[in-house]
Amino acid sequence: MPVKRVSAGANRCAVQGAIQPRFGEVRIRERGRLPHSEKDSGLYFVTFHLADSLPATVLKKLVERNRILVSAKLIGVNLLPSQKLLIEKYSATKMEEYFDRGIGACFLRDPRIADLVVDALWFWHGKRYRLLAWCVMPNHVHVIFRLFPGQELSDAAGG
């Protein structure tokens, strides 16, 4: 299927094909600090970022946010107003705002490094997943892919 590549300044992005939703059994896998929801042949939107793209204080608040959410769900309690505020302040949408500020060294701004990331994403395309779209930003990367049957999310990066 043809790929539409888009370059916007330092960003390298592409979209390929139509995305068709599927539904099925969802598994929760604990991976250190954050739980991951997985399903066979799942469609995933993944963001990964450079280590210096978020201040340490924000990372600490993200860990606290996730601990609160997991604890509240496990014991079935309502959140306190201060907890609700923290959850909102460090939501995925707010994290995108932090990433978009271009904090850190922004090594992915270099087209040679960005192209290495894109090549790495393409490496498992057709083998472990179908790569649908990606966008390499100066300090983070967005990827949309569908796992092939029998593949685990942890294997998507070759691990």
- Length in residues, the chain: 159
Q: Residue 153 and residue 35: Cα distance in Å, rounded?
A: 12
Q: Residue 93 and residue 56: Cα distance in Å, rounded?
A: 18
Q: Residue 140 and residue 51: Cα distance in Å, rounded?
A: 9
Lowest pLDDT segment from 28-37, 51-60, 76-85:
28-37
| pTM (2 d.p.) | 0.68
| Structure token digits, residue 106 | 């922004």
Lowest pLDDT segment from 27-31, 75-79, 104-108:
27-31
Q: Residue 138 and residue 131: Cα distance in Å, rounded?
A: 21
**For the chain, what are the domain ranges?**
1-52+105-159, 54-101
The pLDDT tens digits for 97-106 are 888 888 899 9
The pLDDT tens digits for 129-148 are 999 999 999 999 999 999 99
